[in-house]
Amino acid sequence: MKLSDGFDARRLRSKGPSNWRFRFGVLIAALLDAVGVMLCLAGIATLVGHPPQMTGIDFSMTGAAIVAVVGLVLLYLGVALWRRCRRRLRSGGSLDMAPHLLKKHD
């Protein structure tokens, strides 16, 4: 039996959600990681005794400790957001499996 000319197999499959939100989330996570690493390194360098040549940031010992802690928090938030977005990007819409049964790629 011959198929008609108007048949389109793509109509039979439901279109999955777009991934642009998760890709944007990965970009934001990468920026948070970069800023967190730079702030953390600047704070640690000041605590060690080699303050960076920057203006506008308080580089006393207390200020340096606060900058290092804020850098670590931003780094942690960036990694957590990156892992969540990558998990959503990699999960296909075909089978819903428990997350602990999936392969660990991240």
Q: What is the pLDDT of residues 10-39, one digit of tens each?
A: 666 666 667 788 889 999 999 999 999 999
| Calpha distance 67→36 (Å, rounded) | 9
| Residue 2 placed within a domain | no
Residue 45's region, left for phi above 0, alpha for psi from -120 to 50, else beta, is alpha
Tokens of 16: 């999955």
| Residue 4 placed within a domain | no
> Measuring CA to CA, how many Å separate 60 from each of 47, 53, 64, 102?
9, 13, 6, 47
Which pLDDT tens digit goes with each residue over 71-91?
Answer: 999 999 999 999 998 888 876
pLDDT at 16: 64
Which pLDDT tens digit goes with each residue over 42-59?
Answer: 889 888 887 777 666 667
What is the total count of domains within the chain? 1
| 78 class by beta-carbon count within 10 Å (0-12 exposed, 13-18 middle, 19+ buried) | buried
The answer, as to whether pTM is greater than 0.75, is no
Q: Which domain holds residue 26?
A: 20-88
> Measuring CA to CA, how many Å separate 48 from each of 39, 42, 44, 76, 77?
14, 10, 6, 22, 25
